[in-house]
Structure 1
Amino acid sequence: AAEVVDVIHGTETIRERVGQIQLAARKEVMNLVKAPFFSSGNMTDDAVIDRGVRYRVIVERSMLDGGSPSFDEVIQARAAGEVVRIAESVPLKLFIVDHELAVVPLLGSVNAAKAGALIVHECSLLDALIALFESEWEKAMPFVTSAGGARSAPAIDDLGAQILSMLLTGFTDQAIATQLNTSMRTVQRRIRQMMDTAKAQNRMQLGFRAARLGWLDAEQDGS
């Protein structure tokens, strides 16, 4: 039904439509991110955030492994006001604005001749997509890039927060070192220091103790 679902074709058409929908947002943008990106450029639109629009984004971890988006882009997005969580995988690419409209790609192909997407208006299908996003949001790991929200001493610094956040998201020591432009030795030394401070016997226990100490406070990601 045309009043419920529209179909658009072509990579550039999809990018333009997503951009238009994003600019028209009034309250909230919800995004499940899988490769390839909906559009190039920043993960958020600063002008939209400046209007008070909330961004909640779940990024599939393999994208960070591949450097798209880069860790620096995630830091910039969070600094701009975006709330980012990381998931081992997400079921599909999805872009929802104001609980009123969703964009769902039909194919993962980057081939402009084959690419297509559904524009879903308010209906039971949109309700199901919103519920899917919220379910994935609850399961995804908060991605913290700053130690500023730690509730109690002893606190960790920003680098410690970044290493710990990536560690708990499933990154290897080498991947963390690559993303943070540091050495694996430095990463391992910092993890050991955090384990000693938290009195954790292993890395799994470190995650539990870090939560108890407020090092990765959920309040930092808007929860």
Structure 2
Amino acid sequence: MLELLGLSGLAERLYQAVLTDPARSVAMLARDTGMTDRQIRSALDELADLALVRPSAAADGTLWPVSPAVGLSALLAAAEDEAAARQRQIEATRAAIAALAAEHAEQRQHRAEPAVRLDGIDAVRGRLEELAANAVTECLSLNPGGADRPDARAASAQLNEQALRRGVGIKAICRESFRNDPDTLAHARWLTDLGGEMRTVPIVPTPLVIVDRRVVIVPLDPADPRQGALELDSPGMLSVACALFDQLWSTATPFGSSVTVDGQGLTSAERTLLELAAAGHTDEAAGRKLGVSGRTVKRQMADLMARLDADSRFQAGVRAAHRGWL
């Protein structure tokens, strides 16, 4: 209880004992407290250093306890002075951070470019960290696959937690296939347990991040987001980005809910696979869009063909259209 004042557990126990009966010898204290002679002498040295015992005026070579109202109060006052000095240092540091952040923000505002180019993954992550730390209302993201990388999860976890604790909403849309990845599932459970929201769709068209609906980050190359990104804040681009996110969110399946089937008995992933096949995509190309292997696409396509009683992908497309599946 008194660790804040610098007392160890043994010193606190001995102090309470000598307050009860100051005249006890070391042997008697050892008997009553269960401490060894060595522990008692070490604790007495600690109490003397903290001015909680002092030499007795009546008997040479003995120590007498100082009243808690005097000794402990003095230690508490010293601790309060130290805490106050520490708080002043914290406030000064906070002011310095605010001034530096304001100067950095002013430099960005004075840029004339309609878009700020962020070259490389380090620049992108640094800017996302800054935006997340200053987010007020919400952070929205589309994640075709990059967000489920272990390094990306580690980089964003602390910021996500801090934002959620400040009351910032976090909404993420991922591909349906992420439900098959144990690591990404664990991350999704962690995020939703903290109050974030995650939904899935068969295909996420492009990576992007929207912060407070006032700035959007889009990749320079959607096929390789690690090359860098553009930061945009024009009303037109924000309108398009927000509309895309809102439309996908309204049709996505919430994490934790089972995948539903429509009136034809199709999941959204199955319907999307039929659409990709009808558009001429190979199994490998469809797999890349869906985030699954070509072998998985082939197996799913074979199942759909069997349900349609079709002998070829072309015949499956015709029969799917005839039945209203497409």
Matches of 2:260 and 2:178, distance apart in 1:
16
The one-letter code of the counterpart of 1:130 is C
Q: How does 1:6-25 map to 2 (within 5 A)?
A: 6-25=116-135
Deviations 1:52-97 (A, max 9, x none): 101111111233334452x221111101110111111111001000
Deviations 1:146-180 (A, max 9, x none): xxxxxxxxxxxxxxxxxxx2443869xxxxxxxxx
Aligned to 2:238: 126
Does the 8 A contact of 1:105 with 1:117 survive in 2?
yes
Q: Which of 148, 155, 171 is the aligned partner of 1:56?
A: 171
1:95 aligns with 2:212: no
Gaps of 5+ in 2: 1-110, 262-266, 270-326
1:46 aligns with 2:161: yes
Q: Find the residue that maps to 1:168 and give its secondary structure.
A: coil
Structure number with the bigger relative contact order (C-alpha 8 A, sep ≥ 6) is: 1
Q: CA deviation at 1:143?
A: 1.7
Q: Find the residue that maps to 2:242 and give its secondary structure.
A: helix
- CA RMSD in angstroms comes to 2.6
Judged with a 3 Å threshold, the aligned counterparts in structure 2 of structure 1 residues 64 and 12 are, in CA distance, closer, same or farther, namely: farther
| Sequence identity percentage | 24
Matches of 1:78 and 1:34, distance apart in 2:
19
Matches of 1:75 and 1:50, distance apart in 2:
16
Q: State TM-score, norm by structure 2.
A: 0.42
Matches of 1:76 and 1:111, distance apart in 2:
24
Q: Find the residue that maps to 2:153 and give its secondary structure.
A: coil
The one-letter code of the counterpart of 1:133 is F
Q: Find the residue that maps to 1:63 and give its secondary structure.
A: helix
Matches of 2:181 and 2:112, distance apart in 1:
38
Larger radius of gyration: 2
Q: Which of 65, 80, 91 is the aligned partner of 2:194?
A: 80
Does the 8 A contact of 2:175 with 2:204 survive in 1?
yes
Matches of 1:31 and 1:168, distance apart in 2:
23
Matches of 2:254 and 2:225, distance apart in 1:
33
Q: Find the residue that maps to 2:198 and give its secondary structure.
A: strand
Q: State TM-score, norm by structure 1.
A: 0.59
Deviations 1:174-217 (A, max 9, x none): xxxxxxxxxxxxxxxxxxxxxxxxxxxxxxxxxxxxxxxxxxxx
Matches of 1:2 and 1:65, distance apart in 2:
45
Matches of 1:40 and 1:116, distance apart in 2:
18
How many residue pairs align between the two structures?
Answer: 149
Q: Find the residue that maps to 1:13 and give its secondary structure.
A: helix
Judged with a 3 Å threshold, the aligned counterparts in structure 2 of structure 1 residues 57 and 13 are, in CA distance, closer, same or farther, namely: same
Gaps of 5+ in 1: 145-164, 172-223
Q: CA deviation at 1:141?
A: 0.9
Q: Find the residue that maps to 2:205 and give its secondary structure.
A: coil
Aligned to 1:139: 251
